[in-house]
Amino acid sequence: MPNHRGKLISAIYVIISIALLVLGYFFEEPFGRRKTILMSLILIYISCIVIQIIYKKRAIQFALIILSVVVLMIIEINSKFAIDYFFHSIYILMLMYVVFNYDKKAGLILSVVLSVASTVKFIVLLTIQPSSANIAMFVFFLTVQMLVLLVAIFSKGYREENSKTKQLYEELLQTHKQLQKYSNEIKQLTMVEERSKIARDLHDTLGHDMTGLIMQMEMTTRFFNDNNLIQGMATLDNAKKSARESLSKVRQILNTLKNENDIEWTNTSLYELTEEFSKKTQTEIDCEIIGDKRVKPDVGITLYRIIQEALTNAIRHGSASKIKAVITYQEEAVLFNIEDNGRGCNNFIKGNGLNGMTERVALLGGTITFESKKGFLISGSLPYEQEG
């Protein structure tokens, strides 16, 4: 219950209680000693309900309500009427108050106490004068009391359910907003991943082909310098053909990037890759594939890109003349080992190519290591099925 609503109910409870006590007092028209007793009891009762409203501790409020019930019973005992309905109506008011303001357990205990206390005066009356009129009044008052109690219980239940519904709605609204935020973040991450993927593929393909093209152009220059025009023209024609093929590959990447996983993977692709690059660069490349296993497209494409970049780096950065690539299909993973005889170095810095390899392998849950001593060695593994 919101705080302002609780304060409003408490204020109404205090005002109506005081009004009923005042009306009951004047209805009694007390005088002498009984006037003093009733006035004192009414003041005690008012003090109890006011203190009950001020102090928020449940234990104190609980005790004060019990005390109020006792004081109200004493007030009724000192009434000159068999039943003073102004005083007696306060039981109904208290029932409504405890149902609205206390949890189920405390509300049930207090409701039982109030219901029993409200029947005491009627029971005393019926033992003294068991007339049909008194019985009818008792049944009527008890029925009204039960109806009021039921209405109060259902009203509280409705308010609680309505409050829970509003709370759930607010939570759902917040969750919806959070999901929208996550959705936007996922879109951004997807865009970044797509851009990274495009960058890797363009780097791997163009870098590989441009390295071969540069080697062909250098050989063309040497042939022309040696006045070997026939061989020079043949090499130049091959270079132009390689340039056209590179452009075609770039277009293919841009057109089929999203459907890369639809590409059918075969070991022949690796043989063709190494053979073609060997011809372009006049480099001795040995590709050995041990075993055979049908792998998922993403595993095959990653393996292809790793070997492609390894060949490119061996020529571009290591000036290698011999390269050996060994692919081994094991039970749960495919192993790769690419080694060249190029220039080695004790310390090397990872560029786009090596970082691209690392990212591709990490996406599939594989491993990759780089070693540069006598030449350069790239080795690692790719699981057939990514874990997690």
d(CA 13, CA 50): 10
User: Considering only CA atoms, which of 21, 198, 31, 202 is closest in space to residue 94?
Assistant: 21
Residue 224: per-residue pLDDT: 78
Q: 130, 161, 193 — which closes off a domain?
A: 130
The arrangement of strands across the sheet holding 322-329 comes to: 284-290, 322-329, 333-340, 375-383, 367-373
| Interval 219-230: pLDDT, tens | 778 777 877 778
Classify residue 167: in a domain, yes or no.
no
Classify residue 53: in a domain, yes or no.
yes
- Asked if 318 and 376 touch (Cβ cutoff 8 Å), the reply is yes
C-alpha dihedral sign at 299, 301, 304, 306: negative
Residue keyed to tokens 């061989």: 231
Q: 130, 160, 194 — which closes off a domain?
A: 130
Entry pTM:
0.41
Classify residue 85: in a domain, yes or no.
yes
d(CA 218, CA 284): 17
Classify residue 62: in a domain, yes or no.
yes
Classify residue 289: in a domain, yes or no.
yes
Burial class of residue 325, CB neighbours in 10 A (0-12, 13-18, 19+): buried
Classify residue 162: in a domain, yes or no.
no
Classify residue 34: in a domain, yes or no.
yes
Residue 324: per-residue pLDDT: 93
CATH number at residue 291: 3.30.565.10
Strands (E) located in 45-96: none
Q: 103, 130, 157 — which closes off a domain?
A: 130
From residue 95, alpha-carbon distances to 70, 115, 118, 287 in Å are: 15, 8, 10, 91
Classify residue 243: in a domain, yes or no.
no
Q: At 155, list the tokens.
A: 């009203």
**Per residue of the chain (388 residues), what is the pLDDT tens digit?**
456 667 787 888 888 888 988 888 888 888 888 889 888 988 998 888 888 888 778 788 888 888 888 888 888 888 877 777 788 888 888 888 877 777 777 777 777 788 788 787 778 777 887 888 778 877 877 787 777 777 767 776 777 777 788 888 888 888 877 887 776 677 666 556 666 666 666 666 666 666 776 777 777 787 778 777 788 787 777 777 777 676 666 655 554 444 444 445 678 888 888 888 888 888 899 999 998 888 888 888 889 889 988 988 888 888 888 999 999 999 889 999 999 998 877 777 777 778 888 988 998 899 999 988 788 999 999 998 754 3
User: Which residues, including other chains, have CB under 8 Å from residue 131's CB and lie 6 or more apart?
Assistant: none
Q: Could you give the number of structural domains in the chain?
A: 2
Residue 190: per-residue pLDDT: 55
d(CA 99, CA 104): 8
Residue range of the domain that includes 383: 263-388
